[in-house]
Amino acid sequence: MPTAPTPCPLCGRPALRSPENRSHPFCSDRCRLIDLGNWLGESYRIPGPRAGDGAEVPPRPVDGEEEGS
Ligand SMILES: [Zn+2]
């Protein structure tokens, strides 16, 4: 059963599907890392402008919780 190589989602080159290619579905480890970097870069950007909202949350009052009575 012939296994046709799938195109690398990053560069479009055929990515071999073999035990040696641990970067599948990417053609190489380099493309995998680049894609990972892009993904992380975007995820860091999204919460960036909104980080200020979370910082306004007041801390919970922990004191007096058990010594109330
Ligand atoms: Zn590639």
How is the chain split into domains, by residue range? Answer: 6-46
Q: How far is the CA of 56 from the centre of ligand 1 (A)?
A: 43
Q: What is the number of H-type helices and E-type strands within the chain?
A: 2, 2
Is 25:6 a contact under the CB 8 Å cutoff? yes
pTM above 0.75, yes or no: no
Quote the pLDDT of residue 68: 62
11: left (phi over 0), alpha (psi -120 to 50) or beta: alpha
Helices marked H in 1-69: 29-45, 51-55
Note the pLDDT of residue 47.
58
Cα 8 to averaged position of ligand 1 atoms, centre (Å): 5
Architecture of the domain defined by 6-46:
2-Layer Sandwich (3.30)
Surrounding residues of ion ligand 1, Cβ less than 5 A: 8, 10-11, 27, 31
- pLDDT tens string, the chain, 69 residues long: the values are 667 889 999 999 999 988 889 999 999 999 999 999 988 887 666 555 555 555 666 777 777 767 666
pLDDT, residue 65, reads 66
27 Cα: distance to centroid of ligand 1 (angstroms) = 4
DSSP state of 69: -
